[in-house]
Amino acid sequence: MLKDEDDRSYCQFMAKTDTRDKLLQAGLEVLHRQGFNATGVQEITDAAGVPKGSFYNHFDSKDLLALEVVKAYAARNAEKRKQLREGSGSALNRLRRYFDSLNRIGEASEYSRGCLLGNFAAELSAQSAAVREGVQGAFDEWTTLVAGVIAEAQRDGSVARDVPAKVLASFLINAWEGAVMRAKAEKGAAPLNEFMSVTFKKILT
Amino acid sequence: MLKDEDDRSYCQFMAKTDTRDKLLQAGLEVLHRQGFNATGVQEITDAAGVPKGSFYNHFDSKDLLALEVVKAYAARNAEKRKQLREGSGSALNRLRRYFDSLNRIGEASEYSRGCLLGNFAAELSAQSAAVREGVQGAFDEWTTLVAGVIAEAQRDGSVARDVPAKVLASFLINAWEGAVMRAKAEKGAAPLNEFMSVTFKKILT
């Protein structure tokens, strides 16, 4: 009897996390593809294959799902970030490989999705304080990571020290975001190639 | 009698262009502040102070209003562009003054609006081919203008010729767009200041 009860509560727990995870994954996919305000809760529950009513058992609002989506999106490229931090080769080579690998992400969709962080910053900053702060936090963490590797390149002499690593990192992440946004407007890779060219000829030198 | 008819048709013509202009101005204001998908036609007609029914006499769809809004927005900074092209001082000084003046636009709204072109690129590129192409065209014209002034600075020796002026211009406009987007996420000017610092220490030199 005790065992049965344990099983049942374990199964209920699993079903609950499973539905939440499905909503999160579907939310990430749909919100990245078509944006926040163009997407209804029903589209997300349909994409997740769960009843519409179940949404509010897991998220109090679409805003709060979007905030979790920001965290899941930022966590998604953990392997790329690990390679940037501790992969083989010089800091400068790792930075080049890192941005190269980010640039390839959009190829399959003709760059039509853009970066979810940039999309949400543009669409939601004025609308949702929670999402705005989530996006800001993700950008800050990302900047700290890139700044650490630029500082390493400054220590080994491959990047000049005339501008602080943190400023260079912030500038480059924003420039990359702008290039991704322009690639979305052009449906082409030219802005990303220009980003690589100017970054490694003029900035990280 | 003839005169009366002339008057009447002149008045009807004036009323028509007047309503269209009100819708365009209100559309620019509201769509810039809160984005495309968060805004209904009714909000635009309310802001314009015209009956909702009159919208479709002037624009076949919200998409087509947005396309006209892109054109009106791009035309709005004509004086800044004229100063960049033919103002006093060296090409490099004019570029610095130009980006400085663009950066000040967002101050009053705590950078919460961003650039309408960047906002629409992020929100609408995948949704509306017409708006995407309008935004792309506005970016292309802007790039050509800035490239011309960078080429002037390359000719007078104040900017190195190792990267083509067109590539530098495109990179800088995208980097500026990314900085504006980040300023929107942060509600602060730091990204714009970093843009100026890196641009004039590392890129336009």
pLDDT per position as a tens digit, B188-202: 999 999 999 999 999
Contacting B residues, span 154-193, partner chain A, CB-CB under 8 Å: 162-163, 167-168, 170-171, 173-179, 181-182, 184-187, 190-191
pLDDT at B10: 55
pLDDT band at A1 (very low <50, low <70, confident <90, very high): very low
Topology of domain A77-203, CATH: Tetracycline Repressor; domain 2 (1.10.357)
- pLDDT exceeds 60 at position B47: yes
| B34 close to A (CB below 8 A) | yes
What's the mean pLDDT when you consider all of chain B?
93
Distance CA A41, CA B134 (A): 30
Phi, psi angles (nearest 5°) of residue B44? -70, -45
Q: Taking a C-beta distance cutoff of 8 angstroms, is the pair A45, A19 a contact? A: no
Distances in Å between the Cα of B18 and the Cα atoms of A117, B11, B27, B76 are 39, 10, 14, 18
Model confidence pLDDT, tens digit, residues A81-114: 999 999 999 999 999 999 999 999 999 999 999 9
pLDDT at A57: 96
- pLDDT exceeds 50 at position A2: no
Model confidence pLDDT, tens digit, residues B73-103: 999 989 999 999 999 999 999 999 999 999 9
Give CATH 1.10.10.60 domain extents, chain A. 2-61
Do A167 and B191 count as a contact with CB atoms less than 8 A apart?
no
- pLDDT exceeds 90 at position B141: yes
Q: Taking a C-beta distance cutoff of 8 angstroms, is the pair A47, A65 a contact? A: no
Angle value at C-alpha B148, between B103 and B200, nearest 5 degrees = 45
Which CATH class for the A2-61 domain? Answer: mainly alpha
- pLDDT exceeds 80 at position B1: no
Distance CA A170, CA A76 (A): 20
- Helix residue spans in chain B (DSSP H): 2-34, 41-48, 55-58, 62-76, 78-86, 91-105, 116-124, 129-155, 165-186, 190-198
Q: Taking a C-beta distance cutoff of 8 angstroms, is the pair B171, A194 a contact? A: yes
Residues 6+ apart with CB under 8 A from B155: none
Give CATH 1.10.357.10 domain extents, chain A. 77-203
| B134 close to A (CB below 8 A) | no
Q: Which of A171-185, B5-19, B118-132, B145-159 has the lowest mean pLDDT?
A: B5-19
| 3-state class percentages of chain A: helix first, strand second, coil last, to nearest 5 | 80, 0, 20
Residues A166-170 have a mean pLDDT of 98
Per CATH, the homologous superfamily of domain B2-71 is Tetracycline Repressor, domain 2 (1.10.357.10)
pLDDT at A9: 57
Q: Which helix (H) or strand (E) holds A82?
A: helix A78-86
Give CATH 1.10.357.10 domain extents, chain B. 2-71, 77-203
Q: What is the DSSP letter of A128?
A: -
